[in-house]
Amino acid sequence: MAKVPLTITLYMSEIIYRVQNKTYLTGRSRQNGNNHEEVANMQNNDDEENKNQILLSIGNAFATLKTKLSEWLDEATTSASNAQIKENANLTLTLQMPSNYNKSTKDSIATMASDYIVNVAIGDWFQITNKNDAKDYFDAAGANLASIREAANKRIRPTRTEVSA
């Protein structure tokens, strides 16, 4: 059966923004007026050491995502490097889907792939800054992965062809 390529582009600027926004909102929600340092440590920002850690976490999350989706990953378009992902680079996945996969799920696959990377990166961040929160983000990433698999395994209903006598 012929395969259908599905190319997903994940924009680094969006991923970094979502990591920073979620960590900001988490920190703000925990602020009680006298825990400023703890709240500040929850929040990722553009400081060089923070940005480097998040870029490393995003790179690790992307590599793990490729492993988790390896049954669909197009080997011809896959490259590898241990260099840190650049802030201005975009992440691209090309999946080889069965010809009868339900194409209406491609946005779900792309969104959940982005969510997976964001949640793993935040989980890594909280492993360093607030261990109690890390598990929640790793659990969310697991749910994202399950949603990707569910969407990728959706198929369109076959149609009956007419038989000529």
Q: Determine, yes or no, domain membership for 37.
A: no
Q: Determine, yes or no, domain membership for 157.
A: no
* Whether 6 contacts 75, CB under 8 Å: no
Q: Determine, yes or no, domain membership for 90.
A: yes
Q: Which range marks the domain in which residue 58 is found?
A: 3-31+42-152
Residue 78 has pLDDT above 70, yes or no: no
Give the percent of the chain with pLDDT over 70: 96
Q: What pLDDT, on a 0 to 100 scale, did the predictor assign at position 94?
A: 94
| More confident of the two residues 119 and 24 | 119
pLDDT band at 18 (very low <50, low <70, confident <90, very high): very high
Please give the tally of structural domains in the chain. Answer: 1
Residue 67 has pLDDT above 80, yes or no: yes
* Whether 43 contacts 25, CB under 8 Å: no
Residue 37 has pLDDT above 80, yes or no: no
d(CA 146, CA 112) in angstroms, rounded, equals 9
Q: Determine, yes or no, domain membership for 71.
A: yes
Q: What pLDDT, on a 0 to 100 scale, did the predictor assign at position 81?
A: 66
Q: Determine, yes or no, domain membership for 158.
A: no
d(CA 110, CA 164) in angstroms, rounded, equals 42
End-to-end CA distance of the chain: 26
Q: What is the mean pLDDT of residues 88-96?
A: 91
d(CA 4, CA 102) in angstroms, rounded, equals 11
Rounded to an integer, what is the distance from CA 105 to the centroid of its chain? 16
Handedness of CA 112, 118, 121, 123 (dihedral sign): negative
Q: What pLDDT, on a 0 to 100 scale, did the predictor assign at position 55?
A: 92
